[in-house]
Structure formats: structure tokens, C-alpha cells
Structure 1
Amino acid sequence: MTRAEMLARLIAQAESEGGDMVTLRAIVEEATGLGAERVLTRMGLADPGAPDDLNELRELLRAWRDAKASAWKAAIGWVVRGVLALLLFAIAVRLGFGDLVQ
């Protein structure tokens, strides 16, 4: 029996016998399960290989984040080195060592 059939039966039961708490909870559970299946199907994640695809995407995203963080650290390092080199050059010129630099 599919979720849709089960949901239809539960709704019919609630209409005929009245909606007690157990029936209402079962309706909610089946409806949410059916909704989740529909969403996964619409997103293309209902096939058996979907968990592997999601794991691979997570690994790619983690690698991208690591690469991005490394690139930022390298760029900041180069900027700091450049500023320090300019500061050292300015100190050398200020102290009269400008002739040695030229």
C-alpha cells in the first residue's frame, strides 16, 4: 500500500469514525511522509544513488570551502609582506640609505 492510499484510508476513517488523536497523528505522519517523497522526487533525489550523490556534493563543498580559506590566507599573507617591504623601504630611505637602493 502506498502512502497516498494509506492517507486516503486514514482520512476516510476519520470522516466515518470521527477524528481521535491516534487517527489524526497517523494522518499527519502519512501526509508529511508523502510530502517529503514528493519533494525528493521533484528535486531528483528519489533514486537509490541519491545518498551517494549528496555525500559527494558535501565533500566537494567542504573542499571548496577549504580552498577558499587557503586562498584568503595566502592573499592576506602577500598583502602583509608587501606592506612590510614598503615600510622597510621607507625606513631605509628615511635613514639615508636611499642611495644604496637606487
Structure 2
Amino acid sequence: MPRTLFFIGLCALAVSATAEALTPARQAELRSLVHQDCGSCHGMRLTGGLGPALTPQALQDKSHEFLFATIRDGRPGTPMPPWRPLLTRQEIDWIVDYLKSAGAAP
């Protein structure tokens, strides 16, 4: 019985974590983060600066996984910091989708 309850608890936790959507308010905060924090190195219009351009056109050949890892872990030997301590997996996924969409275009 305890093993069954433990398994049910794990399943419930997994479902609640994946079902939790970002609120519109959090999405607005992330948009601001992209344009302000990322923009401080990648250009305020995300067209490049210290870091490369982050426009949908510039990212079209980059995989979701590559961009996710870059945001999560940074790029050693470059000014790109890891955002893992500050952003959840879901938030990083949202940022990657946002950057690759027309919404992030200048």
C-alpha cells in the first residue's frame, strides 16, 4: 500500500508540473526579461551587439534543444551567463519559443 501511494503521489506531481501554464503576467515578465536583460548584450532590438542576433531569422537553423541549453547553461568562455538558477525549464522553453516566433522580431 505505501508503495502504491508513493507512485500515485509521483504521478500527481508530474502531472501538476507539466500542466502548470505560465500566467499572462509571467509571460509579460519574460518578454521584458528578453528585451531588457538579453537585449543588453544582444541589442535592444535583438539584432546583435556583444552577442549574436536573436531574431527569428537568425535562429531559424538553431534547434530548440541548442537554444534551451544555451539559455540554461550559458556558454563557457563567453559573456553568456547561465540562467538555470533564475528560470524554470518551462520558462526557458517559453523563451525559446518566443525568440523563434514573430513576437520577438524587431
Which TM-score band applies after superposition, normalised by the shorter structure?
A: under 0.3
TM-score (norm 1): 0.25
Q: Based on CA coordinates, which of the two structures has the bigger radius of gyration?
A: 1
